[in-house]
Structure 1
């Protein structure tokens, strides 16, 4: 029998078994849920949606209103439980808020950044700045139509052409779509998008590449206005766009190989290699031991900013201890470590927080957009590099501060940016800031804390970045990955889930890997 059909049969058998178990244990009410979880029961988490629904008024309704939020969540999201309930609450809050941004358009589903209308948005009130954050977060939903159609709208929603403002902001879309492929294995969709992504890359080369091969960008077009290293009208070579274009080139090379076009793959590999060399040679400041902006006057900006961590988002830097030194700054209170998160510029700078408040300053305040990038990069650094600078305790503490920062007046909240010392949301009283869809959180829980590392092959890799003595238990369940349902549990005593002590991975209800310790696991 064909291996594909054997796999399909086993999944159907597993799902029918789970459905039967739910019916007999919980009656008809549980039968109506869509969760395919192996251990957790979706209805045990319904209270979160009910709390959020009653927390405040529903200001703007799009495709899925509040009264349908739990029905949508239980059909779509991986379930998560942990002994530290603040992380658990924030996980469900971020899915509850992400759902608010799904919008039906004549061209298909789209995902907004602001709920309120913005004058600089494209039609359907879309802004491309956080598109890749949306891809990374929404790739974990069971229904991929939301993110797949959203990308199609951006590239083909203007009478078959790109939306007019697709390239209003720097893009790492090709890289993110390849990362989505590592989760859903939808090769047909990825390769259908390939020509569009190649054209987008060429367009950036046409109007943003310097003579030396680096790319330049205005700060505002990186979505990072009022920074310490540049300005809204300055053409600097920034770690942002150069890292993005490296990541895009690497992804496009992989897609070309999937199509069997080795010549085109080699072309994009060469582009990536050139950018890697240029970033390491020109953007690395040996004095500061940091990747920094290279100004339009070909001098170093001589200020550390959070964008200097972005090269690791794409695993760009060489395995080199001198580059590793940069990560000491996430643990340094004169660097980026503040009471309510990671700042966007180093705190030791005499110009830190010097630009005022209320005009989208990236001069030091905490932006979840940047936190998402830095924490993704940090997880890559801890997983893919031989280093002894950052430990699990550091990653956990930074995520804990990220959780604690996402409250406003005692309630869960996600907005634009916040004061690094007080935690006060700087635009918290403006309607535009509510539910700001400009960052990731659940992707960081899944790929960082729980540690599911997406791969192109069929091995399941898990490397939790939670310290072993921090949580007594956690369970990530109902994860749709490569067409299977994954369950990952940590049970310190074995008494919580009755599946034995330690870390365990289940695929379609079958245990495939285990360890007594909260360490690195790869299924055979």
Structure 2
């Protein structure tokens, strides 16, 4: 039996008792940094501890990769720190933008996804550095928040970007997009390796790929949907027609009936491979069409699902393989960074494509009734649990997601300093839209269809989920022993809205609300250490300038790994005051600061005994009317003062006796 109600009244976020429980859960996972997460993340738990713990770890990854770039707000980064192929000076890379947007759509603060989407379509970004599904990502955000303003504001930019893709990478004779695997963010594929004669595969090997063409279908559909909201039927028809034509070409030409899989065909023509011939094996990339709801629902295409369940094909014991072991060059290595193996997609398990596959399976199990006969919710949960386990370093047992993994051992492969806590995949979205089962929609309906194997997951609860501006709670309990009531329950704004004795689809009508957005602008951002302005300095002349720059680079994290140190350190065994300063190039008004201090007692770091903010006004002097919050370790310390205007600002810190201070970030606000 199921019960459904209509919901209209906006209720408080949560009752006092629930608030206390929420605070305890957040403090357990986020410690002193809880204040950042408190009003931003939905609460989630389930009977599988690893799935739950990884959920909160992924919010740490999300928070870590929100870089404040000043007047442009926040962007999501892929790597914690700079890499040579980023878009300078910002450190953006567009290949994982769909994951950044899909994860961000569940953040209760809309600013991050909005700032990021606007930035990625701006002239400061490189929206075609790699293949992308950014328009689809923006549309996906609209389906969750119900506010079309962001999508409408970017509609023309989306069209411009799509047209440039056509100019640069579209083969009119075949009606398909082509790309080198490296520009598809997947170097060393079957296509690129074989196109080199088995000698390399880092570059070259241009092919018509099911990935890129699926992205372009998703982008075209998004543009069409947004244009329809705007009332521009001509644009909607144009892009719907493009999506339909691409879908036909993918199904007619990229489906291989011998391999029963979507595979590449060659665009390149050389001594080793010929134009339009298919590659010689299956890749995990062939599952991506379902990630974007491309294939028809039939028994023929559903045969591809067999391969991701077959241990001799794409199903590794510790992760999905990107290529099958039968391939001649499976797991062969050509490229190194020093002694470390570099990125290859000829077998290693990548969270990037695992996310795509789990999203695809979520779609199949939700709305592909024929194809769903070839896969089960049990298979889905098994792969989700395997993916959650992959987040744990096998040597240390700590949560540290890296670039890729050996599918037969579970150990990270690349393992470079840049690799820690890598934001190149999704997980939060898999939990919310998959396990919890929120299927975002354009209309005023909350649709819930949880994907849960009750033999593996006996309960789950997601609360404070912001959907169409409303606060949603979804709860499942097999026996009632956990929450006092068995079955599936849905609340909206604290009111009962729907229920069922069993796991089944619920649809609940609700009116949408608009969520206000606050956008304070940090005035003290230095994008790169060698930026002409602003200039930074410190009390220790021998300090690496990069470490001083860290204090003003808009990045905040508290991870302990020695290869990703972030901030300015006071000298060991010296409790004297030390300072870092920034010259903004012109006088700027500010009246408060957000400060981040690092703590790791094993490494000898703790919050300072005290700190002061100063301005240079004919000499350094303390700001007037200061209210200095108690120094917070591994969290945000807030300070305020009577509004002051100055070109040069600095923070002075006094370490505790016997400890060093690491100043992670110092941000000034008006």
Task: Give the alignment partner of residue 229 of structure 2, picking from 252, 258, 263.
Answer: 258
Q: Which residue of structure 2 lines up, in the alignment, with residue 198 of structure 1?
A: 159
Please tell me the root mean square deviation across aligned C-alpha atoms, in Å.
Answer: 1.7
Q: How many equivalent residue pairs?
A: 476
Q: Is the 8 A contact 2:189 2:345 kept in 1?
A: yes
CA distance in structure 1 between the aligned counterparts of 2:312 and 2:504, rounded to whole angstroms: 32
Gaps of 5+ in 1: 1-5, 32-39, 51-66
CA distance in structure 2 between the aligned counterparts of 1:44 and 1:219, rounded to whole angstroms: 42
Q: Is the 8 A contact 1:288 1:302 kept in 2?
A: no
Task: Give the alignment partner of residue 392 of structure 1, picking from 369, 377, 386.
Answer: 377
1:220 to 2:182 alignment: yes
Task: Give the alignment partner of residue 289 of structure 1, picking from 239, 257, 260.
Answer: 260
Q: Which residue of structure 1 lines up, in the alignment, with residue 398 of structure 2?
A: 411
- Cα deviations by residue, 1:345-391 (Å, 9 ceiling, x for unpaired): 12332332123572210001000011111111111111111230000
TM-aligned CA deviation for residue 7 of structure 1? 7.8
Q: Is the 8 A contact 2:26 2:38 kept in 1?
A: no
Taking structure 1 as the reference length, the TM-score comes to: 0.88
Q: Which residue of structure 2 lines up, in the alignment, with residue 321 of structure 1?
A: 299
Task: Give the alignment partner of residue 102 of structure 1, picking from 55, 59, 66.
Answer: 66
- Cα deviations by residue, 1:201-239 (Å, 9 ceiling, x for unpaired): 001001000122100011111110111222421221111
Q: Which residue of structure 1 lines up, in the alignment, with residue 640 of structure 2?
A: none
CA distance in structure 1 between the aligned counterparts of 2:76 and 2:260, rounded to whole angstroms: 38
Q: Which residue of structure 2 lines up, in the alignment, with residue 448 of structure 1?
A: 434
CA distance in structure 1 between the aligned counterparts of 2:500 and 2:334, rounded to whole angstroms: 51
CA distance in structure 2 between the aligned counterparts of 1:178 and 1:42, rounded to whole angstroms: 32
SS at match of 1:412: coil
Q: Is the 8 A contact 1:468 1:518 kept in 2?
A: no
Q: Which residue of structure 1 lines up, in the alignment, with residue 251 of structure 2?
A: 280
- Cα deviations by residue, 1:266-310 (Å, 9 ceiling, x for unpaired): 111110111011101110101001000011211010211111011
TM-aligned CA deviation for residue 14 of structure 1? 3.2
TM-aligned CA deviation for residue 151 of structure 1? 1.6
SS at match of 2:191: coil
SS at match of 2:90: helix
TM-aligned CA deviation for residue 162 of structure 1? 4.9
CA distance in structure 1 between the aligned counterparts of 2:378 and 2:249, rounded to whole angstroms: 33
SS at match of 2:58: helix
Q: Which residue of structure 2 lines up, in the alignment, with residue 475 of structure 1?
A: 461
Q: Which residue of structure 2 lines up, in the alignment, with residue 267 of structure 1?
A: 238
CA distance in structure 2 between the aligned counterparts of 1:347 and 1:385, rounded to whole angstroms: 29
SS at match of 1:76: coil
Q: Is the 8 A contact 2:190 2:280 kept in 1?
A: no
- Cα deviations by residue, 1:19-70 (Å, 9 ceiling, x for unpaired): xx41xx49xxx58xxxxxxxx52323411223xxxxxxxxxxxxxxxx5x32
CA distance in structure 1 between the aligned counterparts of 2:288 and 2:73, rounded to whole angstroms: 32
SS at match of 1:224: coil
1:496 to 2:482 alignment: yes
CA distance in structure 2 between the aligned counterparts of 1:511 and 1:190, rounded to whole angstroms: 32
Task: Give the alignment partner of residue 133 of structure 1, picking from 74, 87, 99.
Answer: 99
Q: Which residue of structure 2 lines up, in the alignment, with residue 334 of structure 1?
A: 312
Equivalences for residues 223-238 of structure 1 within 5 A = 223-230=185-192, 231=201, 232-238=203-209
Q: Which residue of structure 2 lines up, in the alignment, with residue 299 of structure 1?
A: 277
CA distance in structure 2 between the aligned counterparts of 1:307 and 1:280, rounded to whole angstroms: 15
Q: Which residue of structure 1 lines up, in the alignment, with residue 36 of structure 2?
A: 72
CA distance in structure 1 between the aligned counterparts of 2:77 and 2:250, rounded to whole angstroms: 32
Q: Is the 8 A contact 2:342 2:414 kept in 1?
A: no
TM-aligned CA deviation for residue 166 of structure 1? 2.3
Structure having the larger proportion of residues in strand: 2
CA distance in structure 2 between the aligned counterparts of 1:235 and 1:86, rounded to whole angstroms: 40
Q: Which residue of structure 1 lines up, in the alignment, with residue 121 of structure 2?
A: 155
Q: Which residue of structure 2 lines up, in the alignment, with residue 426 of structure 1?
A: 413
Task: Give the alignment partner of residue 349 of structure 2, picking from 366, 379, 382.
Answer: 366
Taking structure 2 as the reference length, the TM-score comes to: 0.69
Gaps of 5+ in 2: 1-5, 193-200, 268-274, 336-340, 510-670
Q: Is the 8 A contact 1:415 1:434 kept in 2?
A: yes
Q: Which residue of structure 2 lines up, in the alignment, with residue 53 of structure 1?
A: none
CA distance in structure 1 between the aligned counterparts of 2:380 and 2:121, rounded to whole angstroms: 36
CA distance in structure 2 between the aligned counterparts of 1:42 and 1:345, rounded to whole angstroms: 44
Q: Of the two, which has the highest radius of gyration?
A: 2
Q: Is the 8 A contact 1:336 1:346 kept in 2?
A: yes
CA distance in structure 1 between the aligned counterparts of 2:300 and 2:36, rounded to whole angstroms: 47
CA distance in structure 1 between the aligned counterparts of 2:209 and 2:188, rounded to whole angstroms: 14
TM-aligned CA deviation for residue 95 of structure 1? 0.4
CA distance in structure 2 between the aligned counterparts of 1:450 and 1:516, rounded to whole angstroms: 16
CA distance in structure 2 between the aligned counterparts of 1:414 and 1:356, rounded to whole angstroms: 24
Q: Is the 8 A contact 1:194 1:255 kept in 2?
A: yes
TM-aligned CA deviation for residue 114 of structure 1? 0.6
TM-aligned CA deviation for residue 520 of structure 1? 2.4
Task: Give the alignment partner of residue 446 of structure 2, picking from 460, 465, 490.
Answer: 460
CA distance in structure 2 between the aligned counterparts of 1:380 and 1:94, rounded to whole angstroms: 22
CA distance in structure 2 between the aligned counterparts of 1:47 and 1:365, rounded to whole angstroms: 34
CA distance in structure 1 between the aligned counterparts of 2:404 and 2:481, rounded to whole angstroms: 41
Q: Is the 8 A contact 1:468 1:517 kept in 2?
A: no
Task: Give the alignment partner of residue 113 of structure 1, picking from 78, 87, 93.
Answer: 78
- Cα deviations by residue, 1:157-199 (Å, 9 ceiling, x for unpaired): xxxx352x32110011111111110001111111011011010
SS at match of 1:407: coil
Distance 1:42 1:329, change over 3 A: farther
CA distance in structure 2 between the aligned counterparts of 1:134 and 1:246, rounded to whole angstroms: 19
Q: Is the 8 A contact 1:285 1:302 kept in 2?
A: no
CA distance in structure 2 between the aligned counterparts of 1:415 and 1:455, rounded to whole angstroms: 33
Q: Which runs of 4+ in 1 moved over 3 A?
A: none
CA distance in structure 1 between the aligned counterparts of 2:124 and 2:215, rounded to whole angstroms: 19
Q: Which residue of structure 2 lines up, in the alignment, with residue 167 of structure 1?
A: 128
CA distance in structure 2 between the aligned counterparts of 1:185 and 1:200, rounded to whole angstroms: 24
TM-aligned CA deviation for residue 441 of structure 1? 0.7
SS at match of 2:171: coil
Q: Which residue of structure 1 lines up, in the alignment, with residue 148 of structure 2?
A: 187
TM-aligned CA deviation for residue 240 of structure 1? 1.1
CA distance in structure 1 between the aligned counterparts of 2:254 and 2:107, rounded to whole angstroms: 37
